[in-house]
A and B are shown apart, each in its own frame.
Chain A
Amino acid sequence: MTAQEIAPRDVPIAPPDTRVVRVESLTKRYGAITALDDLTLELAPGIIGLVGANGAGKSTLIKILLGLLAPTSGRVSVLGMDPSTDGTALRQFVGYMPEHNALPPDISATELVAHLAQLSGLPRSAARERTSDVLRHVGLYEERYRPIGGYSTGMRQRAQLAQALVHDPRLLLLDEPTNGLDPAGRDEMLELIRRTGREFGITIVLASHLLGEIEELCDFLVAIDGGRLLRAAPLAEFTTETGVLRVEVEHGRDDLAAALRTRGLRVLDNVNGDVRSIQIALDELEPYDAIRDAVADLGLPLIRIERRRHSLEDLFR
């Protein structure tokens, strides 16, 4: 199946940890509740979006990848290790940012992050050095000696990112990192995540219930719903063009629809409740000339003609 199996033995096609995460028939039940249902997944390095509604199983999956929860059944491998048996060794190479605020108010970011770095296996001097580096990276350098209790929500989230990054993980698991942030803070956080993933080559799994946020950032998208895998594919495949052309006008939509029908085009029922646009199937002849002529004849103010793309929201319909 994989490249290694097909390739001749002495030709190393890829290092063994090409897949950062492998999950096979993973199921997690809490009593009668099934949080994850027969999930099979492989993740290559990159920035990976993990999308799903609240309660879809995103946090459960992340905690299993960390070895904090044991799967009910199925196999999990992270960076080539089994989280349930090699948890402490694995977690030296994994950073985790929980979805809730987990910071004590009475100590400074420097003290907390340096302490946690040592708990991830870094020697004391390296922990101190990297703490100050990483706090500068997340933009908390000026405030690093102040007690965390006085931080804004945005600063807290950056401190949480710093503790996840301080030991230079190979894999970074971020659970709703923009929780509670205002739009400006959210953009800053996403930019910080993008730079961390792109410039330093750290593989990031970014869990979010906000699809739009993830779109700009990710190479690969995993959509789960009710504990089941909906789809796992490169982002581009989620947003491929459809066979539908959308024509938007300032007004006179119904007149345009009637005119196009008489010219032999197939006008689709508008499902979006969108009062300014019509959708035309691209199945037969090229409709562009007919649209141009119809709009000109009726003298309508045309806003745009575009090929419709699959939107991420379509996934959850």
Chain B
Amino acid sequence: MTGSIYDLGYRRYDGPRLGRRHAVTSLVRHSLRSVLGLGRGARAKTLPAICIGMPAVIAVLLVAVRALAARGGLDSSLFVPGHEGLYATISVFPILFVAAQAPELLGRDQRYRVLTLYFSRALRRPDYALGKLIALSLGVLAIVLVPHLVMGIGSILLTTKTADAIGTELGALPVILGSSAVIAVVASALALVTASLTPRRAYATAAIFAAFIVPGIVAAIVIALDLGSASQWVVLLDVGALLDGVNAWFFGVDASTAAAVAGIPTGILLAGAVALGVGSALALVARYQRIPA
């Protein structure tokens, strides 16, 4: 301690300096807390709570319907979706979440020039961009995974053959994790690169909704006009159809959207989604290489 008598504040620091890796981990943790509204006021918690809570409620309802059907001796699998159909019932929430939180995650640092303070520390510009992508992806992952978890626990509790049910659910885990992870990263990357184009929050949110919805509408119109078989490929523009295709590919079922009508294989949809995710992530990094700070 070398502080003088009237200044008890400043001391030298001789402890560890943990470097770039620690810096990036800290950025991810801080950003994840911020997208989930943790440590923020009640208003900041509302939307994350809805986006994570509603899919869980939907999963509880599905489990409840299945339990009632079983009591009535009906085979509920015909009309109540299992893990493979769960994503289609909750797919609006990830989009709502990224549209609201991606601008929050990037806009403030741009608007108030806080980036200067970030880039003068133990991380590089791409670290910042990728750290934000990881944080938002983890948020989306929570939205997509929680209902699967609820459904899995429900399935185990509903049956008398507990051991078999646990085996089935654990067997489904890699598919659930793989599908959810790809969906989370692709949706987050597209939302973040869109948000990085403007520091204005309202514009960014509108732009993200447009990026997720408008190409789908265009695709639907083109398909409805029935301009010939080649025009079916326009489905690849539909982000919703791509994410649904990711889910379908992992679970080995048919796509549930226009893509199924168009007869495009789920493998192609998965490839399209991965290309979109990688392209968006690279564009995001490139944007942060150039952004003034």
Contact = CB atoms under 8 A, between A and B. Distances in A.
User: Does A associate with B in a complex?
Assistant: yes
B253 to A, nearest CB: 44
Contact of A167 (B13, B26, B27, B116): B13
A4 to B, nearest CB: 26
Interface residues of B, number: 38
Contacts of B11: 130, 133, 168
Contacts of A138: 9
A102 B110 CA distance: 10
Contact of A91 (B15, B114, B121): B121
A165 B109 CA distance: 20
B229 interface: no
A167 B120 CA distance: 12
A88 B123 contact: yes
Q: Is the interface of B mostly helix, strand, loop or mixed?
A: loop
Interface in A96-145: 96, 98, 100-106, 111, 115-116, 118-124, 126, 130, 133-138, 141
A119 B118 contact: yes
A91 B122 contact: yes
Contact of A88 (B23, B108, B112): B23
B9 A137 contact: yes
B19 A89 contact: yes
A119 B12 contact: no
Q: Is the interface of A mostly helix, strand, loop or mixed?
A: helix
Q: Chain A, interface size: which category? A: 35 or more
B16 A163 contact: no
B23 A121 contact: yes
Contact of B7 (A94, A124, A195): A195
Given A91-B120, A121-B122, A133-B9, 20 more contacts: A66-B120, A68-B119, A88-B19, A88-B20, A89-B20, A89-B122, A102-B113, A104-B112, A104-B114, A106-B108, A116-B117, A119-B26, A119-B118, A119-B123, A120-B17, A121-B17, A122-B13, A123-B15, A135-B9, A165-B10
Interface of A: 66, 68, 87-89, 91-94, 96, 98, 100-106, 111, 115-116, 118-124, 126, 130, 133-138, 141, 163, 165, 167-168, 195-196, 199-200
Q: List the 7 closest A-B pairs by CB distance, nearest first.
A: A137-B9, A136-B9, A168-B13, A118-B26, A121-B17, A96-B120, A119-B121
Interface of B: 2-4, 7-13, 15-20, 22-23, 26-27, 30, 39, 108-109, 112-124, 293
20 contacts: A68-B120, A68-B293, A98-B116, A102-B116, A104-B109, A111-B39, A115-B30, A116-B117, A116-B118, A118-B23, A118-B30, A119-B23, A119-B118, A119-B121, A120-B23, A121-B17, A121-B23, A137-B7, A137-B9, A195-B7
